[in-house]
């Protein structure tokens, strides 16, 4: 288009058309004055701030400070507002403005989060750009109603023999993982995530006040086993503000609830809620809330109960999805009766207790069968486990007591010696390397072998190799039986006998070696 000379009639015509368009647009616009409440920071300390003004602010409303620093209204006092900061407090000073956002604290949800690492507010931590999710939901949401829930009946396989056989976990259950520090609590949770590779379960790992190196190790382990693509990692490290640590598990649960409401199964791991309780205690003391037992505020039980009650199995009419919670709690000097552990034990549907004594002896995973329990029990267990390991828990506990008693006497009858030898082999079978969860059929084959006495004539140090031979034989020579076990069909005595015979044939070489050694 040739340039238009400003002295020509065409220029005047274009100018009139342009101003006509502007006039028509402005005629449709009605000026509207929007009031904005602005408060003023009166004091700032680590993790919290006091704000004057904002008379209409709501509880848990998101506030914005200069430099795009976020905070959450926590204490609504007549003279001031106690704000929990979600960013570093050293970026603020007294006298600066605080503005309402008129929305409660929320987090992005959706399929776009799979494979991403975010903080509890939804900001990316994996250097892969902004999270493209367009849907956001509040971090604090009410738990599903009682009439919208179904019983927990579908198993969630962890891939660990000692857990799946003796302390089963179901989809929609809340099972606490409990133990002293450095006893393998996170390892059990990660093995459970890895074992969901072909089950369609969405996994969410929530790190609360963990060391940055520890979180990096967890993420590296998930990447190494190609498990990160179906996971969402919510991170609030130990050097994060206590406000971020406090809201982290609620944000992770909201992300999981989105998938649950789509009819999918979700696993959420809170690592760990003891650190979460400490973060909440720190915030409460800074905001001068009255302390209670061990300086924790009086509502610490409610803080965790309203979180864990959101884990459930929905009815088909409500979507049919499930959210399984595996909270982790740390004990000190094996004190299970401490304040936070007892609170969590009373809220959850059972606990997996990890013993430091077993850990030091090399019994990994260090699950103390006698102090671990699943209140859902066999209802969330495949029928094959009930047929094979129905009385294994009782017999194993009896073996542990008998072994402790036998140290005080040298004369043991033949039946007692056989019980001890069988128990030692069961204990050896329960040992499992980290990051190597086993399929259901392979677990059943090994359990049949040890409970039917196939391993009785094999030296204890050869049990690991014998178990591997049994697992290999099961998958290669009994593929149809493996499919029936996974499908949830009951094992007949004939099928159990077939597995036993298969196991005896596969370990024959180990028995011969032992006989030659005895000669």
Over residues 436-470, the pLDDT tens digits come to: 999 999 999 999 999 999 999 999 999 999 999 99
What pLDDT score does 514 carry? 43
Residue 100 known to be catalytic = no
**pTM as predicted:** 0.90
- CA 356 to centroid of chain Cα atoms: 22
From 13, 103, 123, 375, the catalytic residue: 375
What are the residue ranges of helices labelled H in 124-272? 161-166, 185-194, 212-224, 242-261
Residue 499 CA to residue 477 CA, distance in Å, equals: 10
Instruction: With a cut of 50, say whether residue 284 has pLDDT above it.
Output: yes
* pLDDT given for residue 23 in this prediction: 77
Q: Report the SS3 class of residue 373.
A: strand
Is the domain spanning 38-105 CATH 3.30.300.130? The answer is: no
CATH of 149-381, one of 3.20.20.140, 3.40.50.300, 3.30.450.20, 3.30.70.1230: 3.40.50.300
pLDDT at res. 5 = 54
pLDDT of residue 10: 73
Q: Stretch 291-302: mean pLDDT, rounded?
A: 94
Q: How far is CA 290 from CA 5, 298, 341, in A?
A: 78, 8, 21
Q: Is 505 exposed, middle or buried (0-12, 13-18, 19+ CB in 10 A)?
A: middle
Residue 208, SS3? strand
CA–CA dist 425, 18 (Å, integer) = 90
Question: Facing residues of 313 across strands?
Answer: 322
What CATH architecture does domain 387-518 belong to?
Up-down Bundle (1.20)
Distance of CA 366 to the CA centre of its chain: 19
Q: Mean pLDDT across the chain, nearest whole number?
A: 91
Model confidence pLDDT, tens digit, residues 142-178:
999 999 999 999 999 999 999 999 999 999 999 999 9
Q: How far is CA 144 from the centre of its chain?
A: 19
Whether 123 has a pLDDT exceeding 90, the answer reads yes
Percent of the chain with pLDDT over 70: 96
Over the stretch 352-383, which tens digit does the pLDDT of each residue have? 999 999 999 999 999 999 899 999 877 889 99
| Domain ranges (residues) in the chain | 38-105, 149-381, 387-518
């Amino acid at each position: 288009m040739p340039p238009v000379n400003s002295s020509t009639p065409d220029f005047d015509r274009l100018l009139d058309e342009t101003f006509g368009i502007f006039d028509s647009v402005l005629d449709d616009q009605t000026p509207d004055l929007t009031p904005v409440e602005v408060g003023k920071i009166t004091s700032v300390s680590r993790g919290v701030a006091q704000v004057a003004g904002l008379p209409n602010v709501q509880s848990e409303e998101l506030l914005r400070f200069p430099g795009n620093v976020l905070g959450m209204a926590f204490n609504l006092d007549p003279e001031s507002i106690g704000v929990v900061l979600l960013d570093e407090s050293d970026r603020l000073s007294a006298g600066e403005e605080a503005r309402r956002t008129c929305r409660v604290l929320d987090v992005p949800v959706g399929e776009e989060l799979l494979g991403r690492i975010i903080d509890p507010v939804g900001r990316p931590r994996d250097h892969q750009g902004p999270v493209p999710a367009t849907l956001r939901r509040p971090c604090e949401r009410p738990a599903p109603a009682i009439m919208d829930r179904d019983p927990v009946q579908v198993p969630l396989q962890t891939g660990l023999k000692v857990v799946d056989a003796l302390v089963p976990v179901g989809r929609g259950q809340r099972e606490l993982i409990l133990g002293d520090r450095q006893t393998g609590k996170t390892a059990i949770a990660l093995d459970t995530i890895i074992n969901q590779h072909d089950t369609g379960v969405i996994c969410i790992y929530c790190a609360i006040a963990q060391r940055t190196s520890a979180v990096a190790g967890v993420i590296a382990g998930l990447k190494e086993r190609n498990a990160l693509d179906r996971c969402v990692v919510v991170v609030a490290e130990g050097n994060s503000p206590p406000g971020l640590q406090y809201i982290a598990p609620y944000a992770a649960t909201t992300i999981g609830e989105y998938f649950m409401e789509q009819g999918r199964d979700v696993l959420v791991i809170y690592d760990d809620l003891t650190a979460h309780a400490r973060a909440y205690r720190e915030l409460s003391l800074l905001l001068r809330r009255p302390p209670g037992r061990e300086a924790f505020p009086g509502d610490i039980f409610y803080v965790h109960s309203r979180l864990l009650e959101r884990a459930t199995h929905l009815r088909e009419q409500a979507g049919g999805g499930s959210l399984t919670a595996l909270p982790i709690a740390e004990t000190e000097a094996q004190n299970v009766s401490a304040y936070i552990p007892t609170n969590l034990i009373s809220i959850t549907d059972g606990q997996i207790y990890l013993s430091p004594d077993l850990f030091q002896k090399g019994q990994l995973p260090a699950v103390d069968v006698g102090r671990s329990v699943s209140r859902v029990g066999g209802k969330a267990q495949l029928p094959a486990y009930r047929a094979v390991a129905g009385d294994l828990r009782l017999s194993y506990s009896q073996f542990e007591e008998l072994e402790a008693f036998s140290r005080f006497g040298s004369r043991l009858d033949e039946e007692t010696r056989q019980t001890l030898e069988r128990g030692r082999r069961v204990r050896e079978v329960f040992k499992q390397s980290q990051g190597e969860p086993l399929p259901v059929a392979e677990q059943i084959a090994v359990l049949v072998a040890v409970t039917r006495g196939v391993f009785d004539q094999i030296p204890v140090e050869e049990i690991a190799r014998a178990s591997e031979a049994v697992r290999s034989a099961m998958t290669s020579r009994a593929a149809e039986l493996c499919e029936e076990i996974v499908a949830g069909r009951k094992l007949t005595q004939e099928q159990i006998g077939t597995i036993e015979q298969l196991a005896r044939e596969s370990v024959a070489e180990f028995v011969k070696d032992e006989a030659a050694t005895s000669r």
